């Protein structure tokens, strides 16, 4: 394993698919590296519920190499915590190597984080902010590949440019990367602009690379995992947010949140971790419950808890309140959501582990636009809505689009495709066109046209011309009947009032 100079040689370690199959055991279900969230206690819970490989949170190579306390906390693991990949960030080959040499006997591979898009990564010059420094990356990956006794792996984001993404991945493979995780989003897709990951890039890389690959992004349930495996041809699928909301995601079940929380806290008793991690996990698990207006006190209690007993008490309260509904002993009347937190009105089955569906980047842009307009003209802002192409649309239409985007298991492309199929714009304004309109207009413009040009649109049910003709007919043929019919006529017209102009019905 180790040569005369103390260096591990590449000849003695398993590489590529041998490493994937024999060392890792061909995992398909992978828990992502998550700062402050993929700690030992959580990993153990996930393994119990079907995770076949876990990543550690990302560690700073420099701190790990030089701060014994940081390293001791980071290396918290146990015999059952395998297979395990430990992830580092850094921008210096020797520094990362120093850290990795100290970690290698506690894990099955060392991963380099090349995907982090956060401002802190920009300041520290690591993660996705290295994705244009191919010489440096070659140096880092090659050094680890040559000097470690375990394989080196990488986690990347895509470039918008497909061809560049492929060259990037090939460069890492050529430098010695033995397994590549591809997060199908660009560096710019983060925070409220996260949006949907594009698996087609991952599929393309899979067709050109020889090393094993994991796909990451858009995994909200087990059906997504299998769809992703089928669509991209990758070897495994990695989940982060979906896993935090449902640690049993890889078993395709939705257990009650208190069950997962209790089991997690039992692992925390065995493998302690900072209270901030625990709070983070419980807030994620209880996301849907904590959004309910009546639970605001519970939310405050959890926010200020920092002892294991306090966390257990919160879990007990959640269980006491929701278990009778879960058992069917009491009929659940959906509760009202806190409007300051969620745009949904009611929450259904909030006590079951379920994914959190992020708002789309379009609705985020919409909110920003509304705020900006509000600042200029408070009355106008409330009336302005835009679709993803920037066209102004009605409030009703906007609500419909938002509802569609919140529907689980639909990629943005699918939602958009359906929307495109049905949605044509009015030729006179940016509102949606009536699907049967004679003049390719929205209802309002169509009505204006029919009034102004004395015509009918049966598609919209706007029959101005016919009604006026009918009115004239009555006027001309029965002076006597006119008054009695006029009332009926008016009644008929009320649903679609025709302005009474000179020469029209009096
Ligand atoms: C709480 C949290 C912490 C994360 N920490 C890391 C990390 O340490 N290293 C890393 O490469 N990615 C990290 N990520 C990104 C995820 O690994 C993953 O790439 C991203 O969330 C997309 O996957 P998802 O759609 O399944 O959430 C983190 C994500 C979350 C939500």
How confident is the model at residue 402, as a pLDDT? Answer: 75
Q: Per residue in 99-127, pLDDT tens?
A: 999 999 999 999 999 999 999 999 999 99
Q: Which atom of ligand 1 is nearest to the CA of 58?
A: 8
CA of 240 to the centre of ligand 1 (A): 5
The answer to whether the CB of 202 is under 6 A from ligand 1 is no
Question: Is residue 8 pLDDT above 80, yes or no?
Answer: no
Question: Is residue 273 pLDDT above 80, yes or no?
Answer: yes
Q: Per residue in 200-242, pLDDT tens?
A: 999 999 999 999 999 999 999 999 999 999 999 999 999 999 9
The answer to whether the CB of 121 is under 6 A from ligand 1 is no
How confident is the model at residue 429, as a pLDDT? Answer: 82
Comparing C-alpha atoms, which of 114, 44, 47 is closest to residue 76?
Answer: 44
Residue of the nearest CA to atom 21 in ligand 1?
Answer: 240
Count CB-CB contacts under 10 A for residue 54.
26
How confident is the model at residue 491, as a pLDDT? Answer: 39
The answer to whether the CB of 38 is under 6 A from ligand 1 is no
Dist CA 105 CA 149 (whole Å): 8
Count CB-CB contacts under 10 A for residue 372.
11
How confident is the model at residue 481, as a pLDDT? Answer: 52
φ, ψ for residue 332 (rounded to 5)? Answer: -85, 125
Dist CA 81 CA 76 (whole Å): 10
How confident is the model at residue 495, as a pLDDT? Answer: 35
Long-range pairs for 317-325 at CB < 8 Å and ≥24 separation? 318/257, 318/258, 318/261, 318/286, 318/289, 318/351, 319/256, 319/258, 319/262, 322/256, 322/258, 322/289, 322/350, 322/351, 323/256, 323/258, 323/351, 325/351
Q: Per residue in 9-38, pLDDT tens?
A: 555 899 999 999 999 999 999 999 999 999
Q: Per residue in 129-183, pLDDT tens?
A: 999 999 999 999 999 999 999 999 999 999 999 999 999 999 999 999 999 999 9
How confident is the model at residue 366, as a pLDDT? Answer: 75
Question: Is residue 97 pLDDT above 90, yes or no?
Answer: yes
* Helix ranges (DSSP H) in 377-478: 378-381, 395-406, 412-422, 443-453, 464-477
CA of 442 to the centre of ligand 1 (A): 44
Q: Per residue in 454-506, pLDDT tens?
A: 999 999 989 999 888 888 888 887 765 555 444 433 333 333 333 333 332 22
33, 64, 227, best to mutate for ligand 1 pocket (most atoms within 8 Å of CB): 33
> Which residue carries 């014994």 as its tokens?
68
Q: Per residue in 291-311, pLDDT tens?
A: 899 999 999 999 999 999 999
pLDDT-based confidence at residue 2 (cuts at 50, 70, 90): very low
How confident is the model at residue 470, as a pLDDT? Answer: 87
Please say if 116 is a catalytic residue.
yes
How confident is the model at residue 394, as a pLDDT? Answer: 78
Q: How many CA atoms lie within 13 A of 14 on its CB side?
A: 13
Dist CA 175 CA 178 (whole Å): 9
**Interface predicted TM-score of the whole assembly (ipTM), two decimals:** 0.99
How confident is the model at residue 336, as a pLDDT? Answer: 77
Residue of the nearest CA to atom 19 in ligand 1?
Answer: 183
Residue of the nearest CA to atom 30 in ligand 1?
Answer: 34
Dist CA 155 CA 33 (whole Å): 10
Dist CA 4 CA 178 (whole Å): 24
66 in Cβ contact with 101 (< 8 Å): no
* Helix ranges (DSSP H) in 179-255: 199-208, 222-232, 241-245
| Sign of the four-CA dihedral 487, 489, 493, 495 | positive
Q: Per residue in 338-396, pLDDT tens?
A: 655 554 544 568 999 999 888 787 777 777 777 777 666 666 555 667 777 677 777 77
The answer to whether the CB of 35 is under 6 A from ligand 1 is yes
Give 84's contacts (C-beta < 8 A, 6+ positions apart).
43, 53, 54, 55, 56, 77, 106, 107, 108
Q: What end-to-end distance do the CA atoms of the chain give, in Å? A: 102
How confident is the model at residue 359, as a pLDDT? Answer: 79
Q: Which atom of ligand 1 is nearest to the CA of 243?
A: 26
pLDDT-based confidence at residue 281 (cuts at 50, 70, 90): very high
Q: Per residue in 314-326, pLDDT tens?
A: 999 999 999 999 9
Comparing C-alpha atoms, which of 191, 194, 199 is closest to residue 165?
Answer: 199
Per DSSP bridges, beta strands 335-336 and 346-347 are antiparallel
Per DSSP bridges, beta strands 152-157 and 109-114 are parallel
In 9-52, where do the E strands start and end? 29-31
Q: Per residue in 385-427, pLDDT tens?
A: 777 767 777 777 877 777 776 665 555 565 555 555 456 888 8
274 in Cβ contact with 37 (< 8 Å): no
Dist CA 123 CA 353 (whole Å): 36
């Amino acid at each position: 394993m180790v040569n005369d100079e103390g260096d591990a040689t590449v000849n003695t370690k398993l590489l590529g698919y041998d490493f994937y199959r024999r060392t890792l055991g061909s995992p398909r279900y992978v828990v992502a590296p998550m700062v402050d969230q993929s700690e030992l206690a959580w990993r153990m819970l996930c393994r119990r519920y079907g995770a076949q490989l876990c990543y550690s949170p990302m560690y700073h190579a420099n701190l790990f190499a030089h701060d014994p306390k940081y390293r001791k906390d980071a290396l918290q693991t146990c015999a059952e915590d395998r297979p395990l990949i430990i992830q580092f960030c850094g921008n210096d080959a020797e520094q990362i190597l120093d850290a990795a040499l100290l970690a290698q006997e506690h894990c099955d591979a060392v991963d380099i984080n090349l995907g982090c898009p956060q401002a802190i990564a920009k300041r520290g010059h690591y993660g996705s902010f290295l994705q244009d420094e191919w010489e440096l990356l070659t140096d880092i990956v090659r050094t680890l590949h040559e000097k470690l006794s375990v394989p080196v792996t990488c986690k990347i984001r895509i470039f918008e440019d497909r061809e560049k993404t492929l060259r990037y991945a090939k460069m890492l493979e050529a430098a010695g990367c033995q397994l590549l995780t591809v997060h199908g989003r660009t560096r710019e897709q983060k925070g409220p602009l996260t949006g949907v990951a594009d698996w087609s890039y991952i599929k393309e890389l899979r067709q050109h690379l020889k090393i094993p690959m994991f796909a990451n992004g858009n995994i909200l349930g087990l059906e997504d995992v299998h769809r992703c495996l089928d669509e991209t041809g990758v070897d495994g699928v990695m989940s982060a947010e979906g896993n935090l909301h449902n640690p049993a995601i890889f078993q395709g079940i939705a257990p009650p949140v208190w069950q997962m929380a209790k089991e997690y806290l039992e692992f925390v008793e065995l493998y302690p971790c900072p209270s901030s991690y625990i709070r983070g996990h419980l807030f994620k698990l209880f996301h849907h419950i904590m959004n309910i207006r009546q639970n605001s006190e519970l939310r405050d209690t959890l926010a200020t808890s920092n002892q294991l007993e306090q966390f257990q008490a919160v879990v007990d309260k959640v269980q006491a309140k929701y278990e009778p509904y879960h058992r069917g002993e009491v009929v659940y009347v959906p509760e009202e959501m806190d409007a300051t937190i969620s745009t949904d009105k009611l929450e259904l089955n909030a006590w079951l582990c379920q994914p959190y569906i992020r708002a789309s980047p379009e609705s985020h842009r919409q909110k920003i636009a509304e705020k900006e307009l509000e600042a200029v003209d408070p009355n106008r802002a409330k009336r302005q809505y835009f679709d993803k192409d920037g066209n102004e649309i009605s409030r009703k239409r906007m609500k419909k689009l938002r509802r569609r985007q919140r529907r689980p298991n639909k990629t943005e492309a699918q939602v958009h495709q359906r929307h495109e199929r049905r949605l044509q714009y009015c030729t006179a304004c940016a509102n949606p066109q009536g699907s049967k309109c004679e003049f390719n207009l929205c209802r309002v413009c169509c009505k204006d046209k029919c009034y102004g040009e004395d015509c009918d649109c049966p598609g919209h049910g706007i029959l101005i011309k016919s009604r006026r003709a009918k009115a004239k007919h009555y006027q001309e043929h029965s002076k006597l009947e006119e008054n009695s019919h006029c009332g009926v006529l008016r009644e008929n017209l009320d649903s679609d009032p025709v302005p009474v102009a000179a020469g029209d019905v009096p």
